[in-house]
Every structure is written in C-alpha cells, then in structure tokens.
C-alpha cells in the first residue's frame, strides 16, 4: 500500500532501450496511461521495464529496469511482480529475424509458468511467414488475461491462427502521448477530451515540412526519389525542410544521405540527437506537414493535428493511414515523385480543412488509446 492505494508491480516487455524514438514513445505512452488509469481506479502501478539499455531507460523514465537478455534477471523480476505486459509495437513478426517471436513469446510463457497474469498491449501482429509459429502464438495468447491489437488486420491474423478469445482492436499507444508542459512534465488529457489542433502559422513565416526517413531499399531508390521530391518542393514553394531522425544513429545517416542531394541547403536542417519521445513529439508539432516512412512519425503527426504524407515500406503504415481515411502517397516498391509532390502541396494549402475533416477521428483514436491501460488497471482493482 502507498498512500492508501495498493501497489501493483508490472513487468513491461517490448523493444525498449534501442534508441528508437517510436518504440520509446510506445513505452512512454504505456507508462503515462498506466499512471493515469491507476490514479482513476485507486491503484498505484509500479513498472519494471525490460530494456536493452537498463541505465538509459532508468534515467529517461525514472523506472525500475532490468536487462532484457539476462534470463536470471528477467526471471527474478517476473517472480517479484504481479503480472506482465507484453507490448506494444510490432513484437510478433518474423520479417526482421526468426528469433524475434520466440523471444517475446518466451517472456510471456515464463510469466505464465510462474503463475503471473499476462496482458497483450496494443501489439501489431505480423507478418508471420513461418506458420510453425501459429500454434505457439495461439497457445500463449489463449492464456493471456487480456489481448489487444493495434489494427483490424492483426486481429484477423490471430483469428487465422485459430485464436478464439476476445481480441480488442485499439490504436497504437502513441496516439495518447501528450506533449510536455513548460516544467517538463506531461500535459495530461482527460479520457474523451478533445485535443486542440495547432494554431495557424503566423503570416509571413515559412512553412516547415518535417521528414522522417529510414534505410530500406538496398539500392537507395526510395531515398533518391524522396530527395527528388523534396528538391522540387524547395523549388516550387518557400518551405523549409527539417529532417526528424527517429532511430539513432541510422535515421540520421539516412537523413544526411538525402540532405546532401538537396540544392537549397540554407533551407534544410536535421534535428540531431533527439532521444526522448516527447521531445521528438514537440519537434513534429511545430511542422506544417510531415512526410514519413516511420510509422510513429505519422502517429506523432496525427496526434498533433499535422497533415501527413505516408511512404509505405510495411503494411502497418497503410493500416494506420486507413484508420484516418488516407492512403500512402508511395511505397518503397513503387515510388512516385509526382504523387509525393502533389499530395504535399495539397495538404500544405489545405491544412485547416484537413484538420477539420480528421479531428473527430483523431480524438476518438486518442480516447481508445487509453483502453488497454484501463482494462489492466480494472483487472487488478477487481482482484483487490
């Protein structure tokens, strides 16, 4: 008990401590949602984060941590806990490595063997190309106390695997991430409260186009096309270009690759060394348009009412854009410079109209982003 409230220790497993702003934003969003929902439901959540860099995660969020790859430490953390949260993010996929799914399922299974309740928090499931993983995922998820995924396609894939338990479809947790206030603390937003769209740009001020890119195609055709599109935008508008690297250091290098190809260097900048997700969120909020390959760059933009142009390298990009009634301007397989330029110009000119059209959908996604934390806190309140 702390201040009259029962304390619930929850281990959080995800892709944390890798200096990826998007995944760090997932963690920050989960921590804030658990704090808010815990206060509303009369409990105090004490998180323990499994991290690739425990010292970094501890310093950044002020939470207890342990190394995600040290079995003894993970096992001890789980034994001393009241439960495990797995998520969010694209944890259960085998596109990057065949080892990813066994690792995350292993952590969940260990918690279950220790008799701890487990919760799947707004995960993006897939792609799962090796069907031998299907029964493993089904078996582990079937024993979870709560399962939520971040898009309808993930729920459909779980159904295809034969999972027959309730699965809640919710937004990515980052839709609920607030800005910091002037004292450095998060600005809270009550559940269901409408978010304010950013004010119009002052007269005479150059528009800012934020750009989030990553390495993907080996031959760099995707980055070359983006460079060509940005050069045309610099020629045809008075906009400034600001690169926003989400995964350090690789995204800074990809940003430099494109920046070096642009002709008007005096109107091009790279936001370097931004590690805290709310600091990157603040950078995105000052943009008038966001051109993004990184999923969370698009989510940041949506949450702050910044129109976005998506470049798809993965179905998760398309799935998020579809929730806002949008589609990607290009994919890394089929880049279209004219389409990127056309859509960017249209959104810059029609920013206010876009905000008005998307506001209700964005507000609803913000509200729904709190649902997993709400369900988890409700579970422990009922047990108390």
* The pLDDT value given to residue 222: 98
Residue 343 vs residues 101, 300, 326: alpha-carbon distances, Å: 37, 19, 11
pLDDT by residue (tens digit) across 231-240? 999 999 999 9
Tell me the average pLDDT across 157-162. 98
CB 241 within 8 A of CB 139: no
By percentage, how much of the chain surpasses pLDDT 70?
93
Q: Report how far residue 13's alpha carbon sits from residue 23's, in angstroms, rounded to the nearest whole number.
A: 12
Between CA 148 and CA 152, with CA 149 as vertex, the angle to 5 degrees is 125
Q: What is the rounded CA–CA span in Å between residue 13 and residue 118?
A: 11
Q: Which residue has the higher pLDDT, 132 or 184?
A: 132
Residue 193 confidence class, pLDDT cut points 50, 70, 90: very low
Q: Is 232 exposed, middle or buried (0-12, 13-18, 19+ CB in 10 A)?
A: middle
Confidence (pLDDT) at 181: 72
What's the whole-number mean pLDDT along residues 79-106?
Answer: 95
Q: Which domains occur in the chain, in start order? A: 7-170+369-383 (3.40.50.2000), 208-365 (3.40.50.2000)
Higher pLDDT, 186 or 277: 277
Q: Which pair of tokens denotes residue 221?
A: 């055709």
Mean pLDDT, residues 298-309 taken together: 97
Residue 198 confidence (pLDDT): 58
Would you say residue 202 has pLDDT above 90? no
What's residue 299's pLDDT?
96
Q: Quick one: average pLDDT of 182-211?
A: 59
Of 2-6, 145-149, 160-164, 169-173, where does mean pLDDT reach its minimum?
2-6
Instruction: Give the pLDDT of residue 204.
Output: 63
**With 80 as the cut, is the pLDDT of residue 259 above it?**
yes
């Amino acid at each position: 008990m702390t201040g009259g409230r029962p304390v619930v220790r929850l281990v959080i497993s995800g892709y944390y401590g890798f200096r990826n702003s998007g995944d760090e934003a997932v963690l920050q969003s989960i921590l804030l949602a658990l704090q808010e929902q815990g206060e509303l439901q009369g409990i105090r959540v004490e998180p323990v984060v499994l991290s690739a860099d425990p010292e970094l995660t501890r310093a950044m969020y002020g939470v207890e941590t342990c190394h995600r790859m040290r079995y003894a430490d993970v096992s001890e953390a789980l034994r001393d806990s009241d439960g495990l949260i797995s998520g969010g993010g694209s944890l259960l996929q085998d596109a990057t490595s065949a080892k990813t799914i066994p690792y995350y399922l292993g952590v969940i299974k260990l918690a279950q063997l220790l008799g701890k309740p487990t919760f799947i928090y707004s995960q993006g499931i897939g792609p799962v190309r090796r069907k031998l993983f299907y029964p493993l995922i089904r078996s582990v998820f079937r024993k979870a106390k709560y399962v939520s995924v971040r898009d309808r396609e993930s729920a459909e894939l779980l159904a295809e695997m034969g999972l027959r338990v309730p699965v809640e479809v919710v937004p990515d947790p980052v839709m609920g991430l607030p800005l910091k206030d002037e004292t450095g603390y998060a600005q809270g937003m009550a559940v269901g409260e409408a978010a304010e769209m950013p004010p119009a740009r002052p007269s005479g001020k150059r528009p800012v186009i934020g750009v989030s890119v990553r390495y993907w195609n080996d031959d760099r055709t995707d980055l070359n096309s983006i460079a060509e599109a940005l050069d045309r935008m610099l020629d045809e508008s008075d906009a400034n270009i600001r690169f926003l690297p989400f995964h350090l250091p690789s995204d800074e290098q990809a940003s430099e690759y494109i920046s070096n190809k642009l002709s008007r260097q005096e109107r091009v900048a790279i936001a370097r060394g931004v590690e805290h997700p709310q600091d990157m969120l603040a950078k995105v909020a000052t943009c008038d348009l966001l051109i993004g390959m990184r999923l969370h760059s698009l989510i940041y933009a949506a949450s702050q009412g910044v129109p976005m142009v998506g470049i798809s390298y993965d179905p998760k990009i398309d799935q998020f854009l579809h929730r806002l009634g949008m589609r990607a301007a290009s994919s890394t397989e089929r880049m279209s410079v004219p389409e990127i330029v056309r859509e960017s110009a249209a959104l810059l000119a029609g920013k206010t109209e876009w905000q008005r059209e998307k506001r209700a959908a964005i507000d609803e996604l913000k509200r729904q982003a709190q649902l997993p934390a709400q369900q988890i806190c409700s579970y422990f309140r009922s047990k108390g």
